[in-house]
Amino acid sequence: MQSIVIFTDGACSGNPGPGGWGSIVALSDGSVRELGGGEAGTTNNRMEMTATIRALALLDTPVASGVIVYTDSTYVIRGITQWVHGWRSRGWKNAEGNDVANRDLWEELMRQVMRLKPATIDWKYVRGHSGFEGNERCDEIAVAFSKKQFIELFDGPRARYLVNLESLPAEQALPEQKSAQKGGKGSSSAKPGSLSYLSYLAGVVMRHSTWAGCERRVKGKPAKFKKVKSQQEEKELLVSWGLDAKYAIVDE
């Protein structure tokens, strides 16, 4: 059966300020539904998350096919595939011990992901404004709602949908992270390929820039840990722990 394809986007003026979100959900039964909404005072990240949550919430269970989510938000992708595990294990605190921003939405997004299991969700990054009609349409919806402008939302058969969803974005790597997300992982100086320490606890692999940070996490706990000096050593260590060489690593 054909996968369910979802595009999402968020927009915000001022950040915080008036914002909007937009989603396209192409269901496996051949129908397409557009979703959108806005808030008077919000942030871009909250709008990106809301767009994703509302799209997933639209899906009925059980889901017989896989789900592909295209988003230009690295915050959403890294958050749901990497960061949330560490946040939850620390009681929704980031590496500095501060409260995680947007916890309410992260918990709801996790709930939606768990609700759809055993269906798999493939999170795919698409660079914003790169010409893919699904992404461009979601941006149009989000901006309209952020400005309180009327926009007609489509709900009908895919054959009548004027947005081209046949040409899907090719696989794109996430952009290299230049700085830590606010309320996210923290401001670690650890980088893949440099001297660092890896720890493995409760299903989460974390990269630490200092031994002190690693020790705080593993001391007195049934954890695995080791110093590594290169990206290749990281991969080899993951395999030695029985994990895939591409297993997601959370920076402290």
Active site residues: 9-10, 48, 72, 129, 139
- Report the C-alpha gap between 135 and 125 in whole angstroms: 11
Residues 6+ apart with CB under 8 A from 243: 200, 205
In this structure, are strands 31-42 and 17-26 parallel, antiparallel, or unpaired? antiparallel
Tell me the one-letter amino acid at 102. Answer: N
- Rounded alpha-carbon distances, angstroms, from residue 82 to 68, 85, 208: 17, 6, 15
DSSP category for residue 80: I
Could you tell me the two tokens for 52? 């994703």
Distance CA 184, CA 95 (A): 8
Provide the β-strand partners of residue 124. 70
Q: Which residues share a beta bridge with 11? A: 20
Kindly list the distances between the CA atom of residue 45 and the CA atoms of 10, 20, 204, 237, in Å, as whole numbers in the listed order: 7, 11, 24, 34
Pairwise CA distance, residues 232 & 77, whole Å: 24
